[in-house]
Amino acid sequence: MIDKKEKRYIRTKYGDANFLYVEEFDSVEKAAEPLNKGKFVEVVVKEYKWDHTIVKEIIDGKDQKSTTKAERLAREKTPEVSGNKVQS
């Protein structure tokens, strides 16, 4: 039997951004206090840099992380080591 379900994928990008976040306040005292929330005005992204991307396949409503063949081989070849054991 051939599975005719449509495959779906989620791509998540991780990175850093330099941005400007602008709020409006009705007094200088409120604006000077860092914990106060003002009226949102705008966000301007100045620059960004992508660090890495992860692709997951959605199978029956669950996400399954997709890895490259090199990552799978490295994981298979790397022995599991416990940091709590001390050899004498």
Instruction: Going residue by residue through the chain, which has 88 residues, state the pLDDT in tens, using 9 for 90 and above.
Output: 555 677 889 999 999 999 999 999 999 999 999 999 999 999 999 999 999 999 998 877 555 555 555 555 555 655 554 444 444 4
Q: Is residue 72 part of a domain?
A: no
Per the prediction, the chain carries an average pLDDT of: 79
Determine the length of the chain: 88
Q: How confident is the model at residue 11, as a pLDDT?
A: 95
Which range of residues forms the domain containing residue 27? 8-66
Q: How confident is the model at residue 67, as a pLDDT?
A: 55
Identify the bridge partners of residue 57 per DSSP, sorted by sequence position.
Answer: 9, 64
Q: Is residue 88 part of a domain?
A: no
Q: Is residue 55 part of a domain?
A: yes
Q: Is residue 79 part of a domain?
A: no
Q: How confident is the model at residue 16, as a pLDDT?
A: 96
Single pTM value for the model: 0.46
Domains identified in the chain, total number: 1
β strands within the chain, DSSP E:
8-24, 39-59, 62-66
Q: How confident is the model at residue 85, as a pLDDT?
A: 46
Measuring CA to CA, which residue among 67, 43, 41 is closest to residue 53?
A: 67
